[in-house]
Amino acid sequence: MPLVTSKEMFEKAYKGGYAVGAFNVNNMEIVQGITEACQEEKAPVILQVSKGARAYANHTYLVKLVEAAVIECPDIPVVLHLDHGPDFETCKACIDGGFTSVMIDGSSHSFEDNIALTKKVVEYAHDHGVVVEGELGTLAGIEDEVSHAVGSYTRPEEVEEFVSKTGVDSLAIAIGTSHGAYKFKPEQCTRNEKGILVPPPLRFDILKEVSKKLPGFPIVLHGSSSVPQEYVKMVNDFGGKMPDAVGVPEEQLREAAKLAVCKINIDSDLRLAMTGTIRKFFAEHPEKFDPREYLKPARANIKEIVRHKLVSVLGCAGKA
Ligand SMILES: [Zn+2]
């Protein structure tokens, strides 16, 4: 099937009590690892491209890689989504250039300016059959060029006005998730018996308040990697240095997916799987220099971590 929008995907996810995974793509191995897992698990998927990915890999290469995945994975619906569109021009370039979904991130603007910017993108997108994700509240952390030292929670009293005035199709909210592999500072956390940081719980009270004000409306969670400690350990065991990297516990994401959350963004976990695998390979095979030999196990581990997310975290396996 051709690329689709997320409209029907989200309707089914909302009713079915699961979320669709939105995974960031930057090169061929990442696209293949994600989509092979989704094809085998019969899961719908959102492949998303950030401003940084477009700068790194070039818009055309990314679109063509995703189109190749659509041909190779004929049994699953695939959305091509712009992650954190910074302005109208970037959104327009993606809408004109083959994307089926865009995010306009006006969260650093005032409430009024965010509404005006988002509305402008929605009007252009809907005229071209493309859906739009907006954002209210800001996440802490760093993701490509999106960076905030401190976040601010979404204010539930603002969501109805924002959605009705802009016409957005989904809304990213801030309930305590965070971008990157260092989601929480040690002073925000406690430590478990192994000395690993345990982050503060997500604000489910805000999520529930938001969904009460927007019944049936799809909510999006950004910054939702769980930073698996086996990969942090692999990175650190083979020459890396990622002290106190910590993410959002998977049980909390599973809980959110049962509620109004229909899209969960996961990027850092795939980066960790890829980097840990390559570091280990280099350490164990210092004589090897064929990129295919280290990219192959990296791609295989991306596939396995995505499979785990589909089955055990998102609940979207078998929902294609
Ligand atoms: Zn994000």
Topology classification of domain 7-178+217-225+248-267+303-314: TIM Barrel (3.20.20)
Residues 6+ apart with CB under 8 A from 78: 3, 4, 35, 38, 44, 45, 46, 47, 66, 69, 70
22 burial type by CB count under 10 A (0-12 exposed, 13-18 middle, 19+ buried): buried
CA of 284 to the centre of ligand 1 (A): 35
Reported as a pLDDT band with limits 50, 70 and 90, residue 191 is confident
CA of 290 to the centre of ligand 1 (A): 34
Question: What value does the mean pLDDT of the chain take?
Answer: 95
CA of 52 to the centre of ligand 1 (A): 12
Give me the catalytic one of 75, 83, 205, 244: 83
For the whole prediction, is pTM greater than 0.75?
yes
Residues with CB under 5 A from ligand 1 (ion): 222
Tokens 């009705």 sit at which residue? Answer: 164
Q: Are 124 and 91 in contact (CB under 8 A)?
A: yes
CA of 26 to the centre of ligand 1 (A): 15
CA of 285 to the centre of ligand 1 (A): 36
Q: What is the pLDDT of residue 145?
A: 62
Chain segment 261-305, per-residue pLDDT in tens: 999 999 999 999 999 999 999 999 999 999 999 999 999 999 999
Distance CA 161, CA 181 (A): 33
Q: Count CA atoms closer than 13 A to 103's CA, side-chain side.
A: 31
Chain segment 10-19, per-residue pLDDT in tens: 999 999 999 9
83 is catalytic: yes
Q: What is the pLDDT of residue 140?
A: 77
Q: What is the total residue count of the chain?
A: 320
CA of 49 to the centre of ligand 1 (A): 11
First and final CA of the chain: distance in angstroms? 11
CA of 138 to the centre of ligand 1 (A): 9
Chain segment 141-169, per-residue pLDDT in tens: 776 666 676 678 999 999 999 999 999 99
Q: What is the pLDDT of residue 153?
A: 93
Distance CA 281, CA 259 (A): 40
